[in-house]
Structure 1
Amino acid sequence: MAAAPPSLTSYPPTGTAPASTQRYTSALAAVTTLFFLWGFITCLNDILIPYLKAIFQLSFAKANLINLCFFGAYFLMSIPAGKLVERIGYKRGMLLGFVVAAVGAFLFYPAAAQRAYGLFLGALFVLASGITLLQVAANPYVAILGPPQSASARLTLTQAFNSLGTTIAPLLGTALILSNLPKLNNAASAAQIDVRAVQIPYLVIGGALLLISLLLSRVHLPVITPAAEEATADQPGSPSIWQHRHLLFGVLGIFTYVGAEVAIGSHIVNYVALPDVLGLDPATAGSKVAYYWGAAMVGRFAGAYLLNKFSPTKLLAFNAFAAVALVLLSINTTGALAMWSLLAVGLMNSLMYPTIFTLAMAGLGRQTEEASGLLCTAIVGGALIPMLFGVIADYSSLRWALLLPVVCYVYIMWYGLRGSRRVA
């Protein structure tokens, strides 16, 4: 990356676009690969949690330290990442994010060799720091890479490929990792588990990250410049970013959405293993996680079309209402119905992240980079809400803990109906 990188401004362009539709399409295709890979990496946590829980004989709360370290990186690194991207450009930001994430993946090798839970947590934090930088760079870039009126649909389409990664990850993770767990989950059987089963998968992930970084360095990403009338958001007298009501409520929306989605996904294996659900063994239960994320993938591909036909705010509210109904149905039933109703929540999750993200960033002009960092900081919900979920599960049950995601979805429904409105 030589000389000064192209400076990308993250807000919808107006007037004459500096790049053709074809250039937009090729750039969008390149960035979409990023969404696939970080979806794959993130969803492996759903396999890693029950695996390390069994090996180290952890409580639900201690097992959720995995989510705390992974998603906590978003809280600590998102705003610095936003400032870094603003300084070095989006393409360099993505390339650096790949390298940092690869280092984190390679650190799994010594963590497994030492059989140390703390080292696993440290490796996850480094890996997530790289993913955070990728998120901060790629999400607003996709939002501005074309007409503003289709930003939600465009981001939903790329998120669909993110969900493709989250669908494949549980299947491969179950085959390579969870299949090594014994059916009896006790201290004696845990001592016989070879924790190094995670070494090869994460070495491959690290190599793939470096390879994609190399390929992306050779892809031209178009430069998008602002129209004159949009260049006023950072002028004296313009409102502070903290004065945008729809953005602040959107930050809380991202916090609750990610927290609810991760809390459910991270505990599906343990939930379907309950005797009053289906009592499945770890390997069979792990394969069910793919249905949860696969439903999200289907919903996002469909959402890329629906968001061009219907109001994003109404679709968001509808999906949140349906998620509440499905979780409550699962809590109050047993057997296959309890399992499938919870897995179907993945379909309702599908539109939430991209829709909340684009609604929150609407009309922010030059403040979009800062807003993107703020919104990505809210992904820390994936660290804190699952921790609280684990505490509730330890002191009551997994069923009662599912009421926490219900509260999150109720807020998201309100955001779609009222909180996303832009007030002058």
Structure 2
Amino acid sequence: MTKNVSALILVLVIFFAISFITNILGPLFPSLVNDFDLSLAVAGFLPFSFFAAYGVMSIPSGMLVDKYGEKPVMLSAFIMSAFGSFLFALTPSFFMAMASLFFIGTGMAMLQVAINPLLRVAGGKEHFAFYSVMAQLLFGGAAALSPMVYSVVVQGMASEDVSGIFAFFQANVPAKMTWLSMYWIFAIISLMMLVFIYLIKLPKVTLQADEQVGAWQIYQGLFKNKTLILFFIGIAAYVGTEQGVANVISLFLSQYHGLDPVTVGANTVSNFWLMLTLGCFLGLALVKILDSRLVLKLFSMGAMLALTAALFGTSDVAVLAFPLVGFFLSVMWSVIFSLALNSVRVHHGSFAGILCTGIVGGGLASPLIGFIADLSGDLRIGMIVVYLTLGYIFSIGFWAKPLIANKTLPIFNRKENC
């Protein structure tokens, strides 16, 4: 039986809110490029600003949680998110966008660190795996919903009979920047979450020894660990792949196939996140019958094939193939993370904190893609960055040597117990 229903609901709602806010950049990318007259390389620094915050704040956030507890950190996180959202909504410019995204990213990084231990305690340790899957499903559902809300809001503001929330947006958003209304929505969500968190009493979280963040001296030792460095790059490669594809979809469909980024583009990005979520179910089944390293190799190859079809196929093929890339990416985060943690004997909490800073890879891919695309004049050539990151992920299936392999069903276990 669930130990603390209100706290559990809060954590699940936070997972939803994080994803809703985080994954909107892809659909907005064409509008940001056009309205601020940006090159693709410069535009790539927008997601970099957001994900750089993860690199800066993941480890310090763990230390803040240790010192002050989950609730103050979560409240601070949504204050940062609200401030960043209002900042951009009220003073839209490229540099303000970068500052805004850094503040929002900082808030999201703080939340990611605070809510995972809380989920384990609120739902009960014995149910942690179940609620973790539920949280990931909500995360994916919000990522799919966010582009759909964007499409509805922009089209609603363009209609002749505007009322209600659309009238508010029309009065407070520049006529040629209707997409900016999403940042008003983010600000409202952040304020609502502040009230929600303030009113709920949270259970005390007691971390086990190997879950604790650890002192700075522990990190210094871990930074010398070759295995950690390799898996850190793996996490960066995965997030770079995920964001590199998601941020390009709408822009690519607009540039190469003339498809409307507000409708077809946003819908395709939504389907990308939906398929990434649904793919988790197949992934859960496969890791019960196959070695997770083999699953990683198979899905990496599938992602490369789907990406190739998306980039070089017809418009109809591209609209179907981009979400298929998301499907093949679905298992990568969990497999890479579990292989990493199962490759060390101690300091799993600190190890996980360093791995999470690898999320900064989500920001590095986009400027690289944009720089190569600007240099070559072809966005397809810029996407070679994603092939390289997928290639690295594929290689993990060969060199990973976990101390504990994933347990498969007995009928599929080999005699040598690999």
Please report the TM-score for the alignment, with normalisation by the length of structure 2.
0.80
CA distance in 2: counterparts of 1:215 and 1:85, whole angstroms: 19
Aligned length: 384
Cα deviation 1:40-70 (Å, max 9, x = unaligned): 1111111222112111221111211211111
Equivalent residue in structure 1 for 2:309, among 321, 325, 329:
329
Structure 2, unmatched stretches of 5+, are 159-173, 405-418
- 2:310, 2:317 within 8 Å by CA — same for their partners in 1? yes
Change (3 A) 1:161 1:304: farther
CA distance in 2: counterparts of 1:245 and 1:155, whole angstroms: 29
Q: Does 1:197 align with 2:197?
A: no
Equivalent position of 2:258 in the other structure: 279
Equivalent residue in structure 1 for 2:107, among 130, 133, 145:
130
Name the aligned partner's letter for residue 220 of structure 1: L
Equivalent residue in structure 2 for 1:90, among 49, 56, 70:
70
Change (3 A) 1:179 1:267: farther
Q: CA deviation at 1:328?
A: 2.4
Instruction: Work out the percentage of aligned pairs sharing the same amino acid.
Output: 28
Equivalent position of 2:395 in the other structure: 414
Equivalent position of 2:221 in the other structure: 240
Name the aligned partner's letter for residue 84 of structure 2: G
Equivalent position of 1:349 in the other structure: 329
CA distance in 1: counterparts of 2:292 and 2:131, whole angstroms: 12
- 2:71, 2:202 within 8 Å by CA — same for their partners in 1? no
Name the aligned partner's letter for residue 103 of structure 2: V
Equivalent position of 1:17 in the other structure: none
CA distance in 2: counterparts of 1:104 and 1:238, whole angstroms: 30
Q: CA deviation at 1:387?
A: 0.6
Q: CA deviation at 1:143?
A: 6.7
Q: CA deviation at 1:89?
A: 2.4
CA distance in 2: counterparts of 1:302 and 1:122, whole angstroms: 39
CA distance in 2: counterparts of 1:230 and 1:196, whole angstroms: 45
Cα deviation 1:300-327 (Å, max 9, x = unaligned): 3554565566544443333222112211
CA distance in 2: counterparts of 1:274 and 1:199, whole angstroms: 22
Q: CA deviation at 1:363?
A: 7.4
| Secondary structure of 2:205 counterpart | coil
Cα deviation 1:227-266 (Å, max 9, x = unaligned): 7x999x98x9999323555433221111011111111111
- 2:27, 2:262 within 8 Å by CA — same for their partners in 1? no
Name the aligned partner's letter for residue 75 of structure 1: G
Equivalent residue in structure 2 for 1:317, among 297, 309, 323:
297
- 2:89, 2:180 within 8 Å by CA — same for their partners in 1? yes
- 1:246, 1:359 within 8 Å by CA — same for their partners in 2? no
Equivalent position of 1:253 in the other structure: 234
123-132 or 206-215, larger mean C-alpha shift = 206-215
Q: CA deviation at 1:290?
A: 0.9
Structure 2 counterparts to residues 28-43 of structure 1, below 5 A: 28-43=8-23
Equivalent residue in structure 1 for 2:50, among 66, 70, 94:
70
Cα deviation 1:98-129 (Å, max 9, x = unaligned): 221121112122223xxx22112211111111
Q: Does 1:105 align with 2:82?
A: no
Equivalent position of 2:273 in the other structure: 293
Q: CA deviation at 1:392?
A: 1.5
Q: Does 1:221 align with 2:200?
A: no
Q: CA deviation at 1:164?
A: 0.8
CA distance in 2: counterparts of 1:344 and 1:138, whole angstroms: 30
Name the aligned partner's letter for residue 158 of structure 1: A
Change (3 A) 1:379 1:180: farther
Q: CA deviation at 1:26?
A: 6.2
CA distance in 2: counterparts of 1:314 and 1:24, whole angstroms: 38
Cα deviation 1:303-358 (Å, max 9, x = unaligned): 45655665444433332221122112333433312332222111112222233234
Name the aligned partner's letter for residue 203 of structure 2: L
- 1:327, 1:342 within 8 Å by CA — same for their partners in 2? yes
Q: CA deviation at 1:162?
A: 1.0
Name the aligned partner's letter for residue 322 of structure 2: L
Change (3 A) 1:272 1:198: closer
Equivalent position of 1:263 in the other structure: 244
CA distance in 2: counterparts of 1:29 and 1:356, whole angstroms: 28
CA distance in 1: counterparts of 2:41 and 2:400, whole angstroms: 32
Q: Give the alignment's Cα RMSD to 1 decimal.
A: 3.4
Equivalent residue in structure 2 for 1:173, among 133, 150, 164:
150
CA distance in 2: counterparts of 1:359 and 1:28, whole angstroms: 27
Equivalent position of 2:39 in the other structure: 59
| Secondary structure of 2:203 counterpart | coil
Q: CA deviation at 1:219?
A: 4.1
Change (3 A) 1:154 1:169: same
CA distance in 2: counterparts of 1:28 and 1:247, whole angstroms: 32
CA distance in 1: counterparts of 2:14 and 2:135, whole angstroms: 9
CA distance in 1: counterparts of 2:339 and 2:390, whole angstroms: 17
Change (3 A) 1:69 1:88: same
- 2:306, 2:325 within 8 Å by CA — same for their partners in 1? yes
CA distance in 2: counterparts of 1:310 and 1:31, whole angstroms: 32
CA distance in 2: counterparts of 1:94 and 1:42, whole angstroms: 16
| Secondary structure of 1:344 counterpart | helix
Change (3 A) 1:332 1:159: same
Name the aligned partner's letter for residue 325 of structure 1: L
